[in-house]
């Protein structure tokens, strides 16, 4: 390739004019290929230097070198200038109006019963209890016999208990959480401090105060020197944590086959006494059936309905509200608006 000064100057002028006219970064990209890159006329002229004689090579080398340097610096300046302009446009057009109202997306949330269950779990874990669990499909022996509920006890009849076929399998849907007491005592040595929240079943029609599927929370303590005073103190703590510090509790004599003595626990809340749950000292027969050394240990147990607790606490008058899952009910607990 023959080299010609005028031609080099012309190529330089073409390159500078193309660069100065580039409208945007895309156009500049093509200009880089055409006028700056390895295939550009000036790059080719540079490659052709090798075929020149030494004197000519020095002269043209300088000329081409200067031309390429000024193309490069013009390109650099233009590129910076176009990038700045693009950034400015982006900053102006992509700005966010932080004063616009947000679109609320309802995330769903926990059912009030679940919230209550978690609250109860927390307040007992806080005083050193563990959470115990058991199956909802329970053996008749654990649900009744081990709890000293004899075969002719009314709770066992078809009216109250969901028996599971085949009847010979002796399985029931647990009618209370008390079988978890037995499971716990059979599986771990005292001292035992547990609560067991869970689902329970009784053959009732759904109405304003009953539901065939409901929830209880059971408490069980087995340790040395446990007395009814410990039971009363624990129920006081429980009641005050749930219903507020002004609530009072009272024990009323009652009967459960698995506790002796037994009591109903009432709370004084919103100006009246309300029955809350059952409790008592764990019957010695039950302790013996579970292999607990009754010379060394004694214990107490209590059990309450969670639906009932929720209804009393929040003045809910119809069980349907709790079980039907209408979102307007749960939202009134602040659920799903987070
Ligand atoms: N399991 C009893 C019930 O369902 C409640 C209870 C639990 C009573 C523990 C005493 C002790 O009615």
264: helix, strand or coil: strand
Residue 157: pLDDT above 80?
A: no
* pLDDT over 80 at 167, yes or no: yes
The Å distance, Cα 209 to ligand 1 centre, comes to 18
The average pLDDT across 139-143 equals: 96
pLDDT of residue 165: 94
Closest CA to 257 of 194, 175, 195: 175
- Is 70 exceeded by the pLDDT of residue 338? no
pLDDT tens track for 294-310? 999 999 999 999 999 99
54 pLDDT exceeds 70?
Answer: yes
- Residue 161: closest CA among 196, 204, 197: 204
Region of 92 on the Ramachandran plot (φ > 0 left; ψ -120 to 50 alpha; else beta)? alpha
């602040």: which residue's tokens?
334
The whole-number pLDDT of residue 13 equals 92
What is the edge-to-edge ordering of all strands in the sheet holding 171-173?
A: 137-139, 171-173, 163-164
Ligand 1, residues 216, 219, 276: which to mutate, most atoms within 8 A of Cβ?
216
How far is residue 151's CA from residue 143's CA, in Å, rounded to a whole number? 11
Place of tokens 């059979």: 186
Average pLDDT across the chain, whole number? 93
> Per-residue confidence at 152, pLDDT binned at 50, 70, 90?
confident
Q: What is the pLDDT of residue 336?
A: 62
Alpha helices in the chain (DSSP H): 5-21, 25-31, 41-48, 54-93, 112-125, 140-143, 179-187, 228-243, 284-289, 306-314, 319-323, 327-331
The structure tokens listed for 191 are: 């001292």
What predicted TM-score, i.e. pTM, was given to this entire model? Answer: 0.71
The CA-based diameter of the chain, rounded to the nearest angstrom, is 124
> What tokens were used for 258?
């698995």
Nearest protein Cα to ligand 1, atom 4: 176
Q: Can you give the pLDDT at residue 326?
A: 87
Q: What is the DSSP string of 199-258?
A: EEE------SS--SEEEEEEEEEEETT--HHHHHHHHHHHHHHHH-TT-EEEEEEEEETT
Across 280-294, average pLDDT = 97
Ligand 1: lining residues by beta carbon, under 6 Å: 176, 178, 218, 256, 259, 278-280, 301-303
Q: What is the DSSP string of 182-209?
A: HHHHHHSPSSEEEEEEEEEE------SS
Report residue 148 CA to chain centroid gap: 40
Report residue 207 CA to chain centroid gap: 32
Do 203 and 212 form a contact (C-beta atoms < 8 A)?
yes
pLDDT value at residue 139: 97
Residue 214 has pLDDT above 80, yes or no: yes
Atom of ligand 1 nearest to the CA of 175: 4
User: 248 forms bridges with which residues in the sheet?
Assistant: 268
| pLDDT at site 337 | 54
pLDDT band at 1 (very low <50, low <70, confident <90, very high): low
Say if CB 296 and CB 313 are below 8 A apart: no
Q: What percent of the chain has pLDDT over 90?
A: 75
Which stretch of 56-70, 133-147, 248-262, 263-277 has the lowest confidence by average pLDDT? 56-70
**Closest protein CA for atom 9 of ligand 1:** 302
Residue 154 has pLDDT above 90, yes or no: no
Q: How many CB atoms lie within 10 A of CB 117?
A: 21
**Given this model, what pLDDT does residue 328 score?**
86
Q: What is the pLDDT of residue 108?
A: 75
324 alpha carbon – ligand 1 mean position (Å): 26
**Which of residues 77 and 335 earns the better pLDDT score?**
77
The dihedral through the CA atoms of 246, 305, 176, 186 has a sign that is negative
pLDDT per residue as tens digits for the range 83-136: 999 999 999 899 888 898 888 777 778 899 999 999 999 999 999 999 999 999
Return the best residue to mutate from 154, 199, 301 for the ligand 1 pocket (most ligand atoms within 8 A of CB).
301
**CA–CA distance, 37 with 43 (Å, rounded to integer):** 7
pLDDT of amino acid 2: 64
Edge-first strand listing for the sheet containing 248-256: 130-131, 192-201, 213-223, 298-305, 272-282, 259-269, 248-256
Q: What is the reported pLDDT for 332?
A: 84
How far apart are the CA of 278 and the centre of ligand 1, in A?
5
Closest atom of ligand 1 to CA, residue 278 = 8
């Amino acid at each position: 390739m023959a080299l010609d000064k005028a031609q080099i100057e012309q190529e330089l002028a073409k390159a500078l004019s193309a660069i100065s006219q580039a409208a945007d970064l895309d156009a500049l990209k093509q200009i880089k290929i055409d006028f700056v890159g390895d295939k550009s006329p000036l790059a080719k002229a540079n490659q052709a230097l090798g075929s020149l004689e030494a004197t000519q090579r020095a002269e043209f080398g300088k000329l081409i070198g200067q031309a390429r340097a000024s193309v490069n610096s013009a390109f650099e300046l233009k590129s910076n200038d176009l990038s700045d302009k693009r950034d400015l446009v982006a900053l102006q057009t992509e700005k966010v109006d932080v004063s616009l109202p947000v679109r609320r997306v309802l995330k769903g949330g926990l059912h009030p019963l679940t919230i209550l269950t978690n609250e109860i779990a927390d307040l007992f874990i806080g005083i050193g209890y563990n959470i115990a669990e058991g199956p909802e499909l329970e053996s008749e022996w654990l649900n009744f016999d081990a709890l000293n509920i004899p075969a002719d006890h009314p709770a066992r009849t078809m009216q109250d208990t969901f028996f599971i076929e085949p009847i010979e399998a002796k399985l029931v849907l647990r009618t209370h959480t008390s079988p978890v007491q037995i499971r716990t005592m059979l599986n771990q040595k005292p001292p035992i401090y547990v609560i067991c929240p869970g689902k329970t079943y009784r053959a009732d029609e759904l109405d304003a105060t009953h539901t065939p599927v409901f929830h209880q929370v059971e408490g069980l303590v087995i340790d040395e020197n446990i007395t009814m005073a410990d039971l009363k103190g624990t129920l006081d703590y429980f009641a005050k944590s749930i219903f507020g510090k002004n609530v009072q509790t009272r024990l009323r004599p009652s009967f459960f086959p698995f506790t002796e003595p037994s009591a109903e626990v009432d709370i004084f809340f919103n100006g009246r006494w309300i029955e809350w749950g059952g409790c008592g000292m764990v019957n010695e027969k039950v302790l013996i059936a579970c292999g607990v050394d009754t010379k060394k240990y004694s214990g107490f147990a209590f059990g309450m309905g969670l639906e009932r607790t929720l209804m009393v606490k929040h003045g809910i008058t119809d069980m349907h509200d709790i079980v039907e899952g209408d979102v307007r009910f749960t939202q009134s607990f602040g659920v799903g608006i987070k």
